[in-house]
A and B are shown apart, each in its own frame.
Chain A
Amino acid sequence: MNPSSMDIVIAGVGGQGTVLASRVLAQAALEAGLSAKTSETIGMAQREGTVQSHVRIGKDDFGPVIGTGQADVLLAFEPAEAVRALGLLKPGGLLMVNDYPIRPVTVTLGTSAYQTEAILDYLKNTPFQLKVVRAFDTAIAAGSFKAVNTVMLGALAATGRLPFSRSAVLKVLLELVPAKAREINERGFELGAKL
């Protein structure tokens, strides 16, 4: 992997904070002197729908959207959304998945099914480097279930695979979140980094 260029897909559910996570990675890249661009899902899908953010680092000549089989990393905040975005990941790519399912209303109402075990098993048998992250419990331990995104960012930053340091990611994160949310986010990030 060329350390100065990287494609990252962040997949999740509207409200989980994929946009913040992608902004943090892009800003950290810029501060490391690399070019960065992102593409987000904003609008109707933010209401608990499927969302994706794409982050492209060091890809000056290309647009912000990552094509099939191009991503080096898939950071999935939710297991079913990991499966939905899997086609974007290149063979051997890093697949980091929060194992806590968010069951949509269609499942609660019985009009569609969430096969948690089957989904997690499926992810285990794919040709990617899988790392399962217990991000939901960790976020609760950090102070809020909403900190799943920062837990996942911490876990990703701690792999050492990003073209900038873990502390650079944390610095940008703490600059981008509101002052009153800094403590929970810092805790979430640090706990995530230890997973």
Chain B
Amino acid sequence: MGKKLFMGNEAIARGAIEAGLHLATAYPGTPSSEIIGTLAAWSGEFPYYVEWSVNEKVAMEVAAGAAYAGARALVAMKQVGLNVASDPLMSLAYIGVKGALVVAVADDPGPHSSQTEQDTRTFAKFAKLPVFDPASPEEALEMTKDAFELSHRYGIPVFLRPTTRVCHATAGVEISEIQSLPTEGFVKDPRWVIFPRLSYERHRWLENQLEKMAVEFSDNRWNRMTPGDRLGIIAGGISYYYAVEAAQALGLHPTILKIGNPHPAPQAKIEAFLQQVDQVIVVEELDPVIEEAVLAVAGRIGFTGKIHGKISGDLPRAGEYSVDLVKNVLMKVCGVKLDAAAAVLDAPPQLPLRPPVLCAGCPHRASFYAVKRATKGMNAIYTGDIGCYTLGNAQPLAMVDTCLCMGAGITVGQGLQRIEPERPVFTFIGDSTFFHTGIPGLINAVYNKHVIKLVLLDNSTTAMTGHQPHPGMGRTASGEVTQVVDVVALIRACGVEWVEEVNPLDLQAAENAVRKSLEHPGVAAIVMRYPCVALYKPSRRFRVDASRCINCKRCIKELGCPAFYQEEKPEIGPSCYGCGLCVQVCPVGAIKEANC
């Protein structure tokens, strides 16, 4: 059907449709979000069901239910999302599925946008589930289809584990016909109810399935050898391409084994490879999953050559790999040299630091600033959470003292408060994160009398990951109108007696709400509500009237808004979004609406 320029995540979405997808679920998380985003955007054209679930555990369970009914289901998440979904998944490995269930988990070596560099291949070993590890968008599409087939044939959930460089790469991808498959429906059977006796039987079954799959993987197209000389390279995922490019640049002709199924390891294939080479370099990002498998096979067959990898100390365990990194390893191991390809440059002038910041006009800036002003001198603690608002930790706001994982701001705040009851604790959380894992923590605060002050930053979207809808918005993934889950009613239902809603861009009102929350003796909640700048067009802009400005720089130093820059006096650039927060900070009224 021809080639289309697809991002890796779009290729996974397409692969799922070509495999006969019936249902897809996810909670967004970089770099995985576009898998379900794409399926949502295409949902009018194809007959599958797609949703943004409230969190990854929910997404996993909804997908599992569909697979119980014989459907082909896809659940997508980022690697830390898998931690949230691990409870259902660990049991599901034993219970198995009927239709098919592909668990797409995007890893983030680097990390570029994550709390950890955890390796889903290691998780797969722990959960005893098979993995497909694509190296490119083209492979991602084909592997998605094969993952569905494998899941169906073995009755087992199957991992698809792309990394950032696959998810967010684009390539011309070959597409083919879509499949439309019937679903058998749910058939009542004791196999769906997990009991200890059944668990033991299914554990034995699962181990047996893994042994069979390891044999199958030795013969499939994803674990393939490219013949060369007696130098061996084994690589998986994007690292395969780094190894190929590095070897070519150095004029090397190694025998290369590309591993597309790192678990269960294709042992027969690895054994055949070891018989062709004198020494091995294992190139894989993050954990030494392939390396451990190679060492095990090498030990069993008495391979005596060197095995260079992470365990030998030749390659790093942390961080992202690159062609340059692999080149350096190859040069060291093979004793070859290459004239530097890069130009020899003078030392550059000092460059400005450019960390990501809250956007111009972002309502979170106003929320943080209001709390900061109202709690000045109180030695308060401000716990944060996962979202754009984590950026509130930067100067000059400096309003995020902790960030751990989704939902942890509310709960970490309770432990802090219990140990130092005299210090006020404000726990910031976004609207989508509140639905995700904030609610149990809030109930805990009320139940156990932890006097935290909740600040719900409600910008009516899941901003950081690309503006996905959530239960507070009245719109589903596919754009249907649905009931709005009212966060204020929800907070009250959790037992919070004092709740106030305020527009954070009204600085005085927001500050007053913060002060009043402190007067309330128990758990109090302030819902700071204003939409994300990505959701509307600005209707006004501001400028600094130089004749009035006394150059005190309060606008700059208090807010850190990226629309400002300093010339002779502060000025406002074209990225101003017209929020008007700076107008309320200027002591001399020098900031005025621009004529635009």
Contact = CB atoms under 8 A, between A and B. Distances in A.
A47 B135 contact: no
A70 B341 contact: yes
Contacts of A111: 353, 395
A62 B351 contact: no
B566 to A, nearest CB: 5
A90 B343 contact: yes
Interface string B109-136: 0001100000000000000000000011
B346 interface: yes
B241 A107 contact: no
B162 to A, nearest CB: 13
Contact of A86 (B136, B327, B348, B394): B348
A119 B351 CA distance: 8
Given A49-B356, A113-B352, A64 B171 contact: yes
A125 B346 contact: yes
B324 A36 contact: no
Interface string A110-131: 0111110011001001111000
A43 B241 contact: no
B520 interface: no
A36 B171 contact: yes
Contacts of B464: 43-44
Nearest to B112: A43
Contacts of B348: 83, 86, 119, 122
Interface stretch (A23-31, A150-158, A160-168, A186-194): A23-31
Given A40-B168, A111-B395, 10 more contacts: A35-B172, A37-B172, A62-B245, A63-B240, A67-B324, A70-B323, A106-B352, A108-B560, A112-B350, A119-B348
A104 B574 CA distance: 14
A83 B322 contact: no
Interface string A54-68: 000000011111011
17 contacts: A30-B3, A39-B165, A40-B169, A48-B356, A48-B562, A63-B245, A65-B242, A68-B341, A80-B354, A90-B341, A105-B357, A105-B561, A109-B560, A113-B350, A126-B343, A127-B344, A128-B343
A83 B343 CA distance: 13
Interface residues of A, number: 62
A69 B343 contact: yes
Given A69-B342, A111-B395, A38 B169 contact: yes
Interface of B: 3, 5, 30-31, 112-113, 135-137, 165, 168-172, 238, 240-242, 244-245, 248, 322-324, 327, 340-346, 348-359, 388, 391, 394-396, 464, 556-557, 560-562, 564-566, 574-575
A40 B169 CA distance: 6
B351 A37 contact: no
Contacts of B556: 108-109
B400 to A, nearest CB: 14
B346 A84 contact: no
Contacts of A125: 346
B343 A63 contact: no
Nearest to B320: A65
Contacts of A30: 3, 5, 172
Contacts of A41: 112, 168
A127 B31 CA distance: 36
Given A45-B112, A126-B343, A50 B350 contact: no
Contact of B391 (A13, A42, A47): A47
Contact of B356 (A46, A69, A122): A46
Contacts of B351: 80, 83-84, 119
Nearest first, the 3 A-B pairs at minimum CB distance are A63-B241, A69-B342, A43-B113
Interface in A68-118: 68-70, 80-81, 83-84, 86-87, 89-91, 103-109, 111-115, 118
Contacts of A17: none
A108 B170 CA distance: 36
B352 to A, nearest CB: 5
A120 to B, nearest CB: 10
Given A63-B136, A122-B349, A13 B354 contact: yes
A128 B323 CA distance: 22
A43 B245 contact: no
Given A61-B245, A62-B241, A109-B560, A39 B169 contact: yes
Given A42-B31, A62-B245, A109-B560, A49 B345 contact: no
Contacts of B564: 108
Given A63-B135, A87-B342, A104 B352 contact: yes
Chain A CB within 10 Å, residue with most, of B30, B340, B352, B394: B352
B235 to A, nearest CB: 11
A34 to B, nearest CB: 9
Interface of B is mostly: loop
Given A44-B356, A87-B342, A105 B560 contact: yes
Nearest to B249: A67
Interface of A: 13-15, 22-23, 26-27, 30, 35-50, 61-65, 67-70, 80-81, 83-84, 86-87, 89-91, 103-109, 111-115, 118-119, 122, 125-128, 145
B112 A44 contact: yes
Contacts of A103: 352, 565
A145 B566 CA distance: 19
Contacts of B575: 15, 145
Nearest to B166: A64
B263 to A, nearest CB: 22
A175 B212 CA distance: 49
B353 A112 contact: yes
Contacts of A22: 170
A76 to B, nearest CB: 13
Contact of A104 (B343, B349, B357, B566): B357
Nearest to A30: B172
Given A42-B168, A105-B357, A126-B345, A68 B324 contact: yes
Contact of A119 (B349, B357, B565): B349
A125 B112 CA distance: 32
Contacts of A48: 354, 356-357, 359, 562
A83 B358 contact: no
Given A63-B238, A109-B560, A114-B352, A23 B343 contact: no
A23 B356 contact: no
A71 to B, nearest CB: 10
Contacts of B388: 47
A115 B169 contact: no
A57 B265 CA distance: 34
A145 B241 CA distance: 38
Nearest to A92: B343
B341 A69 contact: yes
A83 B349 contact: yes
Given A62-B241, A104-B352, A115-B349, A91 B560 contact: no
Contacts of B245: 61-63, 67
